[in-house]
C-alpha cells in the first residue's frame, strides 16, 4: 500500500489511539441493548429509549468538548480528560448495580465529548492549509476508526455473552486504557507542540461552567427517569432538541460575548455557513445509514435466509454479524478511495467536497433501492439470500467513504483556527440529529409495508443528492478556494 507514503508521523499515532478508542466505543455499544434486556431486565421499549438517548447524546457533547478545548484547555489536554472519563465509564459499567450503569453512561457521554472532536481536529492540524495529503490522511484515520469498530463487537460480544457481562465491558475499558497510554507515551514525540494551547483563550469561566451544568443536570435527570423515578412517562423527543438548541446558542453567545478575535471576516462567515449546510445534508445521510443497527438488522433477522451450506455442513449466521460488514468493507475499500482522490487530483479532476457528498448520498440511495427490491422478493417468495443485504451495505459503504472522511477533512479546512474544535463538534451534531430521526423512523418498520419503508430513505437520499449538486456552485463560491 503506497497511500501512507509521506504522511506525517503523527497520523499513525492518532490512527492507533483512535482505533482503540473506537474499539471501546463500539464494543460496549454492541453489548448495551442485550445487557439491558437480558441482565437488567428492562423492557425492549425502554432499552430502545435508553439506546437512543445514549447514542444521540454522545454526539451532542462534542460541541461542548470542542468549545472547551478551543477556549480553555487546548485539544491535547481535552483528549486526555476525555480518555480518562471514558475509561472510568467502561470500568464502572462492569459493576452490576443500576446506579453504576447510569453513572457509566454519563461518564461515557461526557468523555466522548472531550475526546472525539478534538482528536479529529489534531489530525487536521498535521497539514498546512492546502496540503493535498489531507483527504488521504483522513481516509487513513477513518480506517483506524473502522478497524476498531470491526474487531470490538467480535471480542466484546464473545466475552460479554459467553463469559460474563463484566468481562465484555472490562475488555472495552482495557481498549480505552491502551489507547490513552499510547497517546501519553507518544504525543510529545509525534505531535510536538501542536494543539497544546487553546486557539482562542478566555479567562471567563462562567460560560463553560453553566453549559456543563445544564448538560449534566439533563443527563442526571434522564438517568433518574429511566431508573423508574417517574417524572414523565418517557422523555419526549422535543426535550432533546431544546437542550441541543440551548447548548448551541449558549456556545455561540459565549463566543461572541467574550472573544477578542470573534470578529469574523466575510470569507470566514461564508465558510462557516458552508459547514452548517453540509451538516444539514449529512443528517439525511446518517439517519438512513443508521438503519444498519435497527431496521436492516430486523430484515437480516426475519426476512433473510442466513443458513449457509458449505460441503454438506449447514450453519446459521447470526443476524448481528452484518454489523461487522460495514467496518470491514471500509477497511478494504478506503485505500482505493484514497488513491482515487489523489489520482484525480493530479489530473486536476478531483470532485469538490460538496460534489463528493452528493455522490455519497446517491450511492446510499442505490443501496436502499436494493433493499426495496429485496423486500419485494421476500413478499413474493419468502426469505431472501444474504447477498441482498451485502449489496446494500456495499453501496452504503461506498457512500460513507465519499462523505464521512471527506466531511472531517473539510471541517478542518473551512473552520477558522479559533473555532476549529467547536466546528468539529458541529459536524458531529449531524449524527446527534440523525440518531433521533433515524431511530424514530425505524420505529415504523413493523407498521409499514417494507418496500414502502425503504422507499423513504431512498427518496430522501436521491432528492438531497440532487439538491446538493444544484447548490454546489454557490457553495464553492462560499468556500473561497477550498476544495
If one asks whether residue 396 binds ligand GLU (CB under 6 A), the answer comes out as no
If one asks whether residue 145 binds ligand ASP (CB under 6 A), the answer comes out as yes
If one asks whether residue 119 binds ligand ASP (CB under 6 A), the answer comes out as no
Closest-approach residue to ligand GLU (CB): 431
Selected range binding ligand ASP among 178-186, 195-203, 326-334, 336-344, rule: CB under 6 A: 326-334
Residue list 20-79, contact with ligand ASP (CB under 6 A):
26
Instruction: List the one residue from 111, 160, 327, 407 that touches ligand ASP (CB under 6 A).
Output: 327
326 binds, among ligand ASP, ligand GLU, none (CB under 5 to 8 A by kind): ligand ASP
What does the alpha-carbon distance between residue 203 and residue 195 come to, in Å, rounded to a whole number? 18
What b/e readout covers 412-449, taking b as 16+ CB neighbours within 10 angstroms?
Answer: bbbbbebbbbbbbbbbbbbbbbbbbbbbebbeebeeee
Residue written as grid cell 459547514: 275
If one asks whether residue 157 binds ligand ASP (CB under 6 A), the answer comes out as no
If one asks whether residue 7 binds ligand GLU (CB under 6 A), the answer comes out as no
Q: What is the number of residues in the chain?
A: 483
If one asks whether residue 431 binds ligand ASP (CB under 6 A), the answer comes out as no
Instruction: List the one residue from 17, 106, 145, 329 that touches ligand GLU (CB under 6 A).
Output: 145
At its nearest, how many Å lie between ligand ASP and the CB of residue 141? Answer: 10
For residue 423, what are the contacts with CB-CB under 8 A and spacing of at least 6? 66, 272, 275, 411, 414, 415
What does the alpha-carbon distance between residue 337 and residue 470 come to, in Å, rounded to a whole number? 24
What does the alpha-carbon distance between residue 357 and residue 132 come to, in Å, rounded to a whole number? 18
If one asks whether residue 146 binds ligand ASP (CB under 6 A), the answer comes out as yes
If one asks whether residue 404 binds ligand GLU (CB under 6 A), the answer comes out as yes
In 3D, which of 324, 327, 316, 328 has the Cα closest to residue 297?
324
**Termini Cα distance of the chain:** 25
If one asks whether residue 291 binds ligand GLU (CB under 6 A), the answer comes out as no
At its nearest, how many Å lie between ligand GLU and the CB of residue 330? Answer: 9
At its nearest, how many Å lie between ligand GLU and the CB of residue 428? Answer: 6
Instruction: List the one residue from 107, 123, 143, 149 that touches ligand ASP (CB under 6 A).
Output: 149
At its nearest, how many Å lie between ligand ASP and the CB of residue 16? Answer: 15
In 3D, which of 307, 448, 292, 285 has the Cα closest to residue 358?
285
Task: List the beta bridge partners of residue 314.
Answer: 309
If one asks whether residue 330 binds ligand ASP (CB under 6 A), the answer comes out as yes
Selected range binding ligand ASP among 114-122, 144-152, 263-271, 314-322, rule: CB under 6 A: 144-152
User: How far, CA to CA in Å, does 428 sit from each of 27, 81, 282, 321, 411?
Assistant: 20, 19, 10, 26, 11
In 3D, which of 443, 311, 310, 343 has the Cα closest to residue 44?
443
Q: Are 60 and 429 in contact (CB under 8 A)?
A: yes
Instruction: List the one residue from 47, 112, 294, 326 that touches ligand ASP (CB under 6 A).
Output: 326
Residue list 388-407, contact with ligand ASP (CB under 6 A):
400, 404
Chain residues binding ligand GLU by CB under 6 A are: 22, 145, 286, 404, 428, 431
Amino acid at each position: 500500500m503506497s497511500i501512507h507514503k509521506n504522511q506525517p508521523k503523527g497520523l499513525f499515532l492518532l490512527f492507533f489511539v483512535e482505533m482503540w478508542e473506537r474499539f471501546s466505543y463500539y464494543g460496549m455499544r454492541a453489548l448495551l441493548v442485550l445487557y439491558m434486556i437480558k441482565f437488567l431486565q428492562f423492557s425492549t421499549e425502554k432499552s430502545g429509549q435508553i439506546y437512543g438517548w445514549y447514542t444521540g447524546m454522545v454526539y451532542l457533547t462534542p460541541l461542548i468538548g470542542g468549545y472547551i478545548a478551543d477556549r480553555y484547555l487546548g485539544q491535547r489536554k481535552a483528549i486526555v480528560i476525555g480518555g480518562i472519563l471514558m475509561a472510568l465509564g467502561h470500568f464502572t459499567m462492569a459493576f452490576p448495580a443500576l446506579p453504576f450503569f447510569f453513572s457509566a453512561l454519563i461518564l461515557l457521554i461526557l468523555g466522548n465529548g472531550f475526546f472525539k472532536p478534538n482528536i479529529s481536529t489534531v489530525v487536521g492540524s498535521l497539514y498546512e492549509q492546502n496540503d493535498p495529503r489531507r483527504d488521504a490522511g483522513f481516509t487513513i484515520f477513518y480506517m483506524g476508526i473502522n478497524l476498531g469498530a470491526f474487531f470490538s463487537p467480535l471480542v466484546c460480544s464473545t466475552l460479554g455473552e459467553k463469559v460474563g457481562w463484566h468481562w465484555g465491558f472490562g475488555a472495552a475499558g482495557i481498549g480505552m486504557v491502551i489507547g490513552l497510554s499510547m497517546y501519553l507515551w507518544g504525543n510529545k514525540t509525534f505531535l510536538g507542540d501542536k494543539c497544546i494551547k487553546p486557539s482562542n483563550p478566555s479567562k471567563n469561566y462562567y460560560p463553560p461552567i453553566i453549559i456543563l451544568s445544564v448538560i449534566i443536570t439533563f443527563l442526571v435527570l434522564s438517568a433518574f427517569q429511566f431508573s423508574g423515578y417517574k417524572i414523565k412517562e418517557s422523555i419526549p423527543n422535543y426535550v432533546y432538541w431544546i437542550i441541543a438548541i440551548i447548548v448551541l446558542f449558549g456556545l455561540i453567545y459565549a463566543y461572541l460575548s467574550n472573544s477578542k478575535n470573534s470578529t469574523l471576516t466575510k470569507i470566514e462567515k461564508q465558510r462557516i455557513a458552508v459547514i452548517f449546510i453540509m451538516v444539514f445534508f449529512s443528517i439525511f445521510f446518517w439517519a438512513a445509514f443508521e438503519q444498519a443497527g435497527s431496521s436492516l438488522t430486523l430484515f437480516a433477522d426475519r426476512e433473510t435466509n442466513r443458513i449457509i451450506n458449505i460441503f454438506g455442513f449447514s450453519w446459521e449466521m447470526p443476524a448481528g454479524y452484518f454489523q461487522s460488514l460495514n467496518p470491514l468493507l471500509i477497511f478494504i475499500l478506503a485505500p482505493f478511495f484514497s488513491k482515487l482522490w489523489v489520482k484525480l487530483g493530479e489530473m486536476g479532476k478531483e470532485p469538490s467536497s460538496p460534489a463528493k457528498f452528493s455522490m455519497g448520498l446517491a450511492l446510499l440511495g442505490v443501496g436502499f433501492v436494493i433493499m426495496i427490491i429485496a423486500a419485494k422478493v421476500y413478499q413474493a417468495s419468502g426469505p431472501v439470500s444474504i447477498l441482498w443485504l451485502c449489496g446494500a451495505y456495499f453501496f452504503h459503504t461506498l457512500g460513507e467513504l465519499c462523505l464521512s472522511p471527506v466531511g472531517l477533512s473539510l471541517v478542518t479546512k473551512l473552520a477558522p483556527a479559533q473555532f476549529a474544535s467547536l466546528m468539529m463538534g458541529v459536524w458531529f451534531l449531524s449524527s446527534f440529529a440523525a440518531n433521533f430521526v433515524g431511530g424514530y423512523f425505524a420505529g415504523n418498520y413493523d407498521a409499514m409495508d417494507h418496500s414502502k419503508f425503504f422507499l423513504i430513505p431512498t427518496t430522501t437520499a436521491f432528492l438531497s443528492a440532487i439538491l446538493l449538486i444544484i447548490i454546489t456552485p454557490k457553495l464553492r463560491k462560499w468556500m473561497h478556494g477550498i476544495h
